[in-house]
Homo-oligomer: A and B are copies of this chain.
């Protein structure tokens, strides 16, 4: 005799538990509300009774009175770049440890972005984390985050919204310095989305440092996305310029580029990425890259979202770490 879904007994209410224990409903509520005025032993008695009878507060009902949901809306538009699944995984775990839930919004192109985000508003999420979603224009962003905490990750917004980014300038600089130290002089650049603030930032930091060191920017390929294919094409586009090394705006681009170089027998050209996705460490790629400080980004995000109020909008820039592997050496990934 199997139990049919939906047949389960309705869960206990605080009032029922109160009756069972012989206290008031208020007492039960207070027992579960940290910092409320209740005698320690009463609280203990109630909590123990709750465990006993299997009572758990109904979060929905409490949302209605407190007007807080403890839900964070996470808005993503690209899970194909392997950097983001990792970030999302760590972020949801971090939020969860802080007692916050993650409502995931995957924006798909096509239908209206606002339509896909109405639930941010109707479900009253406390906060919104936007992960690098370039499909959100400033207006939609403002609408979606209106009246709630909002944080942008890996994206720069207007100056009235808090952003958390890795230090792109530092990253670009470390990469260039490293290439210089290794002996590369003629550098090519494969950009990601050049229309984004982050994309432009990485590029300008990169080219500025290049100039400072007197290195030569032999060419730039811009691509329409951060993808393997775009990296592949970008690398090939730069070949005629005969670069010593190619700087890719992200790891996923670099992987495509490396494969392309290999395919055309130009594996001697150096390459660097940005992010340090798991695949960058794979022996077949062994990609030198700037590792994004995921832990720090998550930590800062969670810390901000725990606050009752974010305070004035800020830009947090967190330093990453240069991971030197084989792809950037002179001779690149050429077989020994």
Contact = CB atoms under 8 A, between A and B. Distances in A.
A42 B7 CA distance: 37
A78 to B, nearest CB: 9
A124 B58 contact: yes
Contacts of A61: 64
Contacts of A5: 147-150, 309-310
Contacts of A63: 60
Given A79-B86, A259-B282, A59 B6 contact: no
Interface centre among A105, A147, A256 (most CB of B within 10 A): A147
Contact of A123 (B101, B124, B147, B150): B101
| Majority secondary structure of chain A interface residues (helix, strand, loop or mixed) | mixed
Contact of A104 (B58, B102, B148, B283): B102
A88 B228 CA distance: 20
A8 B144 CA distance: 12
A96 interface: yes
Contact of A8 (B7, B71, B84, B146): B146
A122 interface: yes
A181 interface: no
Contact of A80 (B69, B160, B278, B308): B278
A139 interface: no
Contacts of A57: 122
Interface of A: 2-9, 11, 56-61, 63-64, 69, 71, 74, 79-80, 82, 84-86, 88-89, 92-93, 96, 101-106, 108, 116, 118-119, 121-124, 146-150, 160, 228, 255-256, 259, 262-263, 278-279, 282-284, 308-310, 313
Given A60-B123, A79-B86, A96-B106, 14 more contacts: A2-B313, A6-B308, A56-B122, A58-B122, A60-B63, A60-B69, A60-B124, A79-B88, A80-B85, A88-B104, A102-B103, A228-B279, A228-B282, A255-B282
Closest 3 CB pairs of A and B: A8-B147, A85-B85, A59-B122
